Every structure is written in C-alpha cells, then in structure tokens.
Amino acid sequence: MKSILLLIFLGAFATALGETVVPIELQNGNPIVTAVIENQDVRLLVDSGGLSLGLRPEAVARLSLNSSAEKTQSTNVYGEAHNSAMINISSLQIGGTKFSDLEAYEWQMPAQLANWKPALDGTLGRTFLNKFIAVYDYNSSVITLFDKSEQWDNECNGATIPLADHPERIIVTVAEVDDGTVNAIWDTGATHSFIKARVADERQFPLVLDDNQPPIYESERFSFSDNDFGPMEFIALPFTEPEDIDVYIGRNFFEEHVVCINPIQGFIRIES
C-alpha cells in the first residue's frame, strides 16, 4: 500500500514540476510510446518531423472517436498531399500525465510502416511536441518533456545550437558537411538519416553506389556552430518535402547522442 501511495505521490510531484518522463520502445530504431486515449492503449510513433497527433482510421473506429467535417492537408516527404478529417480527443495520457482537449487528424500511414509488428495506431508530431522542451535519450529508452526551461537546464548539457526560423515550426538547424552547408531537419520519425537525392545530384556530393542498396553520402564532418559530430552517413532518397530542407537527421544520430530540443527558446543541445 505504501508503495502504491509513493508512486501516486511521485507522479503528482513530477506533473506539478512540469516534467513528464515517457518510456519508449525502439521499433526498427524509432521511438514508440504507449499512450492512453478513451481508456484504451494506443501505440504512437514519436515523430518530431511530423505534423501533429495523428491516428489511423482503424484506430479512430476502435476508439469510437468522431471525425469532424473540418479537413486539414498534410504532405509527406515524397510530396504526396492528403486531405484528412480532424478529430477531437478529450484526453491523451502519456508517462502518467494527462493532456486534455487535443486536436488530431486521420493519419495515412506510410507504406513502409504498414508491416511493422506490432502495428502502429498513429503518430505524435510537432504540434504537440513543440509545446515542450524534449530530451530524447534512446539509450535510456525515455523521452522527457519539460514545460519550464529552468528544469531542462539541469537535465541536458552539451553543445548549444541555435534553431533556424521556420514558418511551419519545423525543427531545423544549419549544418556543415564535407561538401558544404545544409539545412537539416531533426526527425525522430526517420528510420535513418537521409539526404535528398536531388540535393546530392545538384550539388555534386560524392555518393557511394551499390547495386544492392540506395546511394549513400558519407561525410567525415557533421558540425553545428563549430561543434563536430562526424562522421555521418546519409541515405540518398527521392524526397521532395519540406522544400527548403536538404537532410533529415534520424535514427543513426539519435542512437549515438542525447538530443535536447528546446523550441520554446529556440535552440538544441547535444550530448556526445
């Protein structure tokens, strides 16, 4: 009984401090969180490069949620646009913290995720995540969300990198690679780090070619504000969106570093 009361107290204490510790499972290298919506568990891909809280139509039906007549348009990395119905969610619970009155949309799951087992129910994207300072620690299997910067300062050290302004509030920084400067999106939904094939071609970045896999760009240098985190490997794919992005920082970087994203104050910290 004392243990139960202690857990309840600690949960309330963490919530009061504005800190939510979210356990994650790495599935194919990407962070998955088990959330609770309408008293049912759902598996959500934590996608810092994605749009918002999204649920597959099958999950919407299972949870008996009502779609509204309002539509939103989303565009995937290949430039394919989807008009999706909006959904009102009374509450979402993750890491023991409940968040109320959220908007979501019907998420069209990319084909490459369709065969994941266990299946995904949706995605937790930047419209939700950007309300917090998020510490991504894949090796400890947790993401910690803070809503007060003074707590975050005590949790995350390392190199500080300014965020670039972006009209869609995408998490973007300017990086240096061996062959020049690139605009990089921080994308926990990326199964690896990628470079747009068009960018590599137009700027004549040298690619490693192999008949059995996509072309790869290898850079000894991968630096931000004179802090070098190279070497770095990017797979070249025919991505087109967002238009002003050159590379996508994904799984292979997050596996090696604790990454602290602070969209509220406009910078990132990276621990080696």
**Mean pLDDT for back-to-back runs of 10 residues, the chain (272 residues):** 35 55 93 96 96 92 85 71 86 94 87 82 94 95 85 78 94 97 97 96 96 94 94 96 96 96 94 80
- Residue 175 confidence (pLDDT): 98
Please report, for the chain, how many H helices and E strands are present, in that order. 6, 23
Alpha-carbon distance of 146 to 133, in angstroms, equals 5
DSSP string, 196-262: EHHHHHHTT---EEETTEEEEEEES-EEETTEE---EEEEEE----STT--EEE-HHHHTTSEEEEE
Q: What is the pTM of this model?
A: 0.89
- Residue 69 confidence (pLDDT): 66
Entry field: residues in the chain: 272
- Residue 83 confidence (pLDDT): 81
- Residue 11 confidence (pLDDT): 39
Task: Write the burial class of residue 26 (CB in 10 Å: 0-12 exposed, 13-18 middle, 19+ buried).
Answer: middle
**DSSP code for 50:** S
- Residue 150 confidence (pLDDT): 60
- Residue 215 confidence (pLDDT): 97
